[in-house]
Amino acid sequence: MSSRAYRGLVAALAAVGGLAWLAGCASQTPQAPAGLASDPPRFIQAEALAAAQVVGSVHIDMTSSSGSGSTVYRSDVSSSDGRQVITITGGGEATVLDVAGVGYVSGSPAALVGFFGFPAAMSARLTGRWVSFRSGQPYYQQVVDAVTLGSAVGVVTLSGRLTSKGVHRVGGQPVIGVRGTAPSVPGVPAGTKATLFVATTGRMLPVSYQEVSGGLRLSAVFSRWGEKVSVAAPRDAIPISSVVKSSGGT
């Protein structure tokens, strides 16, 4: 992902209020497994993030919203590959792939310019075409941010003093909340607080993430842990190096 008034985990893994998916969470107070509710919050987060790496893949539905609109991210990520579909208020759309460390993007002008920072003239030439990016090349980090499991988990990894928010239900699932400081990313004020909700039954995996700062809201829901992620590199992708060269720079 990139310029995150989202993404920033989360956008992470970040980062996972009035959110619809939390409605009814407190209708019945579930009980945590013996000892879990009293475990240090830092231990709970560490266990959840470690379990995520062991399981190896996940589907993430993330929404970033503000007064100016919203951006929706639907991602399927594994430790080495990932796919992310981005939809932006106003019609901007893009699909991002990360295949064995090589990034690919195809999108509309609104997404290429407003989200990834491409020059307008360049985006007009690339609309609807696949462009490839390798590590160290222009735009690489903006493209592949949070499109594999490790970077997605980083978006929702909290820092600073962590506190427990007790046991709740999210989507009917018993969870325990860990609250701390959200990752530092562009567009999000330093010190913004966020909550990571971790499953208390089965594996201690992340279930959801909530971040609120003024008019900016970021929510993420994790599901389909362990499902296979199949992503293939587009055959007709244009290397960004040739695009930049023909454009006379970035």
Report phi then psi at 111, rounded to 5: -75, -45
CATH of domain 20-247: 2.50.20.20
At residue 54, does pLDDT exceed 80?
Answer: yes
- pLDDT tens for residues 87-114? 998 778 999 999 999 999 999 998 999 8
Distance, CA of 86 to CA of 2 (rounded, Å): 11
pLDDT band, residue 38 (cuts 50/70/90): confident
More confidently predicted of 111 and 37:
111
Distance, CA of 91 to CA of 200 (rounded, Å): 39
Three-state DSSP class for residue 182 = coil
- pLDDT tens for residues 194-207? 999 999 999 999 99
Token pair for 47: 């266990």
Find the mean pLDDT for residues 146-150.
93
Find the mean pLDDT for residues 133-148.
92
pLDDT band, residue 209 (cuts 50/70/90): very high
Distance, CA of 199 to CA of 100 (rounded, Å): 30
Instruction: Give the predicted TM-score (pTM) of the model.
Output: 0.81
